[in-house]
Amino acid sequence: MEYGIVKTDEEPVESYLALDRKIANLFHSCAKNTKEYPNDYGEMRRLKIELQNLCGITELEAFNVLIYRNVSDYIGKYNGGEVAEVKRLEDTAGIILGNNGIVENAVISIEN
């Protein structure tokens, strides 16, 4: 029996990991520890390319994830609408997120 590449008329399918909060937080954390942060060169550029290849996102989206900008939007875009649920929960709880994605002010109102 001979082993090898099976030839078909179809192009090979690329697969990526779905961008999620865990991946975004990991890459953002790594990016913050580079001397180039928040600029797009050196180690930041390498991280951006690695994130693009891992999750199949655009160059701009990868850079924004590294600086933690619009992360909820990108997670929703690549995970079938999760962003709408996240934004609804943020609105319901009255959570205001800072540019770094950390809760700066939270006021929760409970109505009966």
Whole-structure pTM over 0.75, yes or no? no
Average pLDDT, the chain: 77
**111 pLDDT above the threshold of 50:** no
Residue 25 phi/psi, 5-degree rounding, is: -65, -40
Kindly state the percentage of the chain with pLDDT values over 70. 60
pLDDT tens-place string over residues 38-68: 999 999 999 999 999 999 999 999 999 999 9
Among 74, 80, 99, 84, CA closest to 19: 74
Per-residue confidence (pLDDT) for residue 5, from 0 to 100: 53
